[in-house]
Amino acid sequence: MHEEIEELDLPREPKMLEEIEDLYAYDRWANHRILEAAARLSPDAFVRQTGSSFPSIRDTLVHILAAEWVWLSRWGGHSPTAMPEAWDASTVDTLREEWTKVEDDQKAFLSNLDERGLRETIAYRDTKGNPFRQPLWQMLRHVVNHSTYHRGQIVTMLRQLGAEAPATDMILFHRERSPRPRPEPTS
Protein backbone atom coordinates (compact mmCIF):
# COMPACT_ATOMS: atom_id res chain seq x y z
CA MET A 1 0.00 0.00 0.00
CA HIS A 2 1.36 3.38 -0.96
CA GLU A 3 0.92 6.33 1.32
CA GLU A 4 0.09 9.69 -0.12
CA ILE A 5 3.11 11.90 0.02
CA GLU A 6 2.41 15.55 0.59
CA GLU A 7 3.98 17.63 -2.12
CA LEU A 8 6.44 20.01 -0.54
CA ASP A 9 7.29 23.45 -1.76
CA LEU A 10 10.96 22.65 -2.07
CA PRO A 11 13.53 25.32 -2.80
CA ARG A 12 15.24 25.22 -6.17
CA GLU A 13 18.70 23.69 -6.33
CA PRO A 14 21.13 26.38 -5.16
CA LYS A 15 23.91 27.84 -7.21
CA MET A 16 27.37 26.94 -5.99
CA LEU A 17 27.84 30.29 -4.20
CA GLU A 18 24.53 29.84 -2.36
CA GLU A 19 25.60 26.31 -1.41
CA ILE A 20 28.92 27.58 -0.06
CA GLU A 21 27.17 30.32 1.94
CA ASP A 22 24.79 27.69 3.34
CA LEU A 23 27.70 25.42 4.28
CA TYR A 24 29.40 28.25 6.16
CA ALA A 25 26.17 29.19 7.96
CA TYR A 26 25.94 25.53 9.01
CA ASP A 27 29.60 25.51 10.05
CA ARG A 28 29.06 28.55 12.31
CA TRP A 29 25.89 27.01 13.80
CA ALA A 30 27.62 23.70 14.53
CA ASN A 31 30.75 25.37 15.92
CA HIS A 32 28.60 27.45 18.26
CA ARG A 33 26.81 24.31 19.51
CA ILE A 34 30.13 22.58 20.20
CA LEU A 35 31.52 25.66 21.95
CA GLU A 36 28.40 25.85 24.15
CA ALA A 37 28.88 22.22 25.15
CA ALA A 38 32.56 22.85 25.90
CA ALA A 39 31.63 25.90 27.99
CA ARG A 40 29.67 23.63 30.35
CA LEU A 41 32.79 21.59 31.13
CA SER A 42 34.98 22.17 34.16
CA PRO A 43 38.37 23.71 33.35
CA ASP A 44 39.96 20.32 34.10
CA ALA A 45 37.63 18.44 31.74
CA PHE A 46 38.23 21.03 28.99
CA VAL A 47 41.95 20.12 28.88
CA ARG A 48 41.73 16.46 29.99
CA GLN A 49 43.45 14.04 27.64
CA THR A 50 40.96 11.65 26.05
CA GLY A 51 43.07 9.91 23.43
CA SER A 52 41.78 11.24 20.13
CA SER A 53 43.53 12.89 17.16
CA PHE A 54 44.30 15.78 19.50
CA PRO A 55 44.79 15.26 23.24
CA SER A 56 41.85 17.27 24.58
CA ILE A 57 38.66 19.05 23.65
CA ARG A 58 40.50 22.36 23.92
CA ASP A 59 43.27 21.17 21.60
CA THR A 60 40.74 19.86 19.07
CA LEU A 61 38.83 23.16 19.13
CA VAL A 62 42.10 25.04 18.64
CA HIS A 63 42.89 22.80 15.66
CA ILE A 64 39.49 23.46 14.06
CA LEU A 65 39.84 27.21 14.56
CA ALA A 66 43.44 27.27 13.38
CA ALA A 67 42.56 25.35 10.23
CA GLU A 68 39.69 27.71 9.44
CA TRP A 69 42.04 30.67 9.95
CA VAL A 70 44.88 29.14 7.90
CA TRP A 71 42.60 28.45 4.92
CA LEU A 72 41.07 31.91 5.14
CA SER A 73 44.59 33.35 5.10
CA ARG A 74 45.48 31.27 2.04
CA TRP A 75 42.46 32.59 0.16
CA GLY A 76 43.78 36.07 0.86
CA GLY A 77 47.20 35.23 -0.59
CA HIS A 78 49.11 34.37 2.60
CA SER A 79 50.34 30.91 3.60
CA PRO A 80 50.89 30.80 7.36
CA THR A 81 53.00 28.05 8.86
CA ALA A 82 51.41 28.17 12.33
CA MET A 83 48.49 29.73 14.17
CA PRO A 84 48.94 33.22 15.61
CA GLU A 85 50.97 33.16 18.82
CA ALA A 86 48.80 35.92 20.25
CA TRP A 87 45.75 33.65 20.45
CA ASP A 88 44.58 32.88 23.97
CA ALA A 89 43.07 29.41 24.01
CA SER A 90 43.12 28.94 27.77
CA THR A 91 39.33 29.01 28.18
CA VAL A 92 36.25 28.53 26.02
CA ASP A 93 35.47 32.24 26.37
CA THR A 94 38.87 33.39 25.09
CA LEU A 95 38.76 30.81 22.32
CA ARG A 96 35.27 32.00 21.35
CA GLU A 97 36.61 35.58 21.05
CA GLU A 98 39.21 34.44 18.52
CA TRP A 99 36.58 32.36 16.72
CA THR A 100 34.29 35.36 16.35
CA LYS A 101 37.07 37.27 14.58
CA VAL A 102 37.68 34.40 12.15
CA GLU A 103 33.95 34.02 11.49
CA ASP A 104 33.60 37.73 10.81
CA ASP A 105 36.51 37.58 8.36
CA GLN A 106 35.00 34.49 6.67
CA LYS A 107 31.66 36.29 6.27
CA ALA A 108 33.41 39.31 4.75
CA PHE A 109 35.38 37.09 2.37
CA LEU A 110 32.29 35.17 1.27
CA SER A 111 30.27 38.36 0.80
CA ASN A 112 32.77 39.52 -1.83
CA LEU A 113 32.69 36.29 -3.87
CA ASP A 114 30.77 35.55 -7.02
CA GLU A 115 30.28 32.32 -9.00
CA ARG A 116 33.30 33.07 -11.19
CA GLY A 117 35.50 33.72 -8.15
CA LEU A 118 34.67 30.28 -6.77
CA ARG A 119 36.27 28.70 -9.82
CA GLU A 120 39.51 30.65 -9.58
CA THR A 121 42.63 28.61 -8.90
CA ILE A 122 44.46 29.63 -5.73
CA ALA A 123 48.17 28.99 -5.28
CA TYR A 124 49.28 28.41 -1.69
CA ARG A 125 51.75 26.54 0.47
CA ASP A 126 50.81 24.11 3.20
CA THR A 127 52.20 24.55 6.71
CA LYS A 128 55.31 22.55 5.70
CA GLY A 129 55.97 24.83 2.73
CA ASN A 130 54.81 22.45 -0.04
CA PRO A 131 53.23 24.31 -2.98
CA PHE A 132 49.68 23.54 -4.18
CA ARG A 133 47.14 25.01 -6.61
CA GLN A 134 43.42 24.28 -6.35
CA PRO A 135 40.08 25.83 -7.24
CA LEU A 136 38.72 27.97 -4.43
CA TRP A 137 35.41 26.05 -4.30
CA GLN A 138 37.29 22.86 -3.38
CA MET A 139 39.12 24.57 -0.53
CA LEU A 140 35.92 26.17 0.78
CA ARG A 141 34.15 22.82 0.91
CA HIS A 142 37.19 21.16 2.46
CA VAL A 143 37.20 23.56 5.42
CA VAL A 144 33.61 22.79 6.37
CA ASN A 145 34.18 19.05 5.92
CA HIS A 146 37.36 19.21 8.03
CA SER A 147 35.56 21.05 10.83
CA THR A 148 32.68 18.57 10.73
CA TYR A 149 35.10 15.67 11.09
CA HIS A 150 36.75 17.14 14.17
CA ARG A 151 33.44 18.24 15.74
CA GLY A 152 32.47 14.57 15.56
CA GLN A 153 35.60 13.73 17.52
CA ILE A 154 34.65 16.33 20.13
CA VAL A 155 31.20 14.76 20.47
CA THR A 156 32.89 11.45 21.28
CA MET A 157 35.26 13.15 23.73
CA LEU A 158 32.33 14.85 25.49
CA ARG A 159 30.62 11.47 25.87
CA GLN A 160 33.83 9.93 27.23
CA LEU A 161 33.84 12.68 29.85
CA GLY A 162 30.20 11.99 30.73
CA ALA A 163 29.11 15.37 29.36
CA GLU A 164 26.12 16.15 27.20
CA ALA A 165 27.05 16.18 23.52
CA PRO A 166 25.08 18.35 21.11
CA ALA A 167 23.68 17.10 17.83
CA THR A 168 25.33 18.93 14.95
CA ASP A 169 23.74 17.13 12.00
CA MET A 170 23.25 19.39 9.00
CA ILE A 171 19.61 18.31 8.68
CA LEU A 172 18.95 19.71 12.17
CA PHE A 173 20.43 23.02 11.08
CA HIS A 174 18.07 23.09 8.10
CA ARG A 175 15.08 22.08 10.22
CA GLU A 176 15.77 24.90 12.67
CA ARG A 177 15.94 27.41 9.80
CA SER A 178 12.88 26.09 8.01
CA PRO A 179 9.79 28.32 8.16
CA ARG A 180 7.51 25.28 7.79
CA PRO A 181 6.03 23.69 10.91
CA ARG A 182 7.34 20.27 11.79
CA PRO A 183 5.02 17.38 11.03
CA GLU A 184 3.01 15.94 13.90
CA PRO A 185 3.98 12.38 14.82
CA THR A 186 1.41 9.76 13.86
CA SER A 187 0.44 6.93 16.13
Q: What does the pLDDT look like over 6-36, one tens digit per residue? A: 555 655 656 999 999 999 999 999 999 999 9
- pLDDT at residue 86 in the model: 85
Rounded to 5 degrees, what angle do the CA atoms 37, 84, 146 make? 50
Give the pLDDT confidence of 116-175 residue by residue, as tens digits: 999 999 999 999 999 999 999 999 999 999 999 999 999 999 999 999 999 999 999 999
- pLDDT at residue 45 in the model: 97
- pLDDT at residue 142 in the model: 98
Is pLDDT above 70 for 79?
Answer: yes
User: CA 17 to CA 20: how far, in whole Å?
Assistant: 5
Three-state SS string over the chain comes to: CCCCCCCCCCCCCCCHHHHHHHHHHHHHHHHHHHHHHHHCCCHHHHHCCCCCCCCCHHHHHHHHHHHHHHHHHHHCCCCCCCCCCCCCCCCHHHHHHHHHHHHHHHHHHHHCCCHHHHCCEEEEECCCCCEEEEEHHHHHHHHHHHHHHHHHHHHHHHHHCCCCCCCCCHHHHHHHHCCCCCCCCCC
Residue 93 CB partners (closer than 8 Å, separation 6+): 39
Q: Which of 15-19, 68-72, 183-187 has the highest mean pLDDT?
A: 68-72
Average confidence (pLDDT) over 60-72:
97
Is pLDDT above 60 for 3?
Answer: no
- pLDDT at residue 140 in the model: 98
Beta carbons of 127 and 81 less than 8 angstroms apart: yes
Side-chain half-sphere exposure of 76, counting CA atoms within 13 A: 15
**Domain ranges (residues) in the chain:** 16-174
- Does domain 16-174 sit in CATH 1.10.1200.10? no
- pLDDT at residue 10 in the model: 58
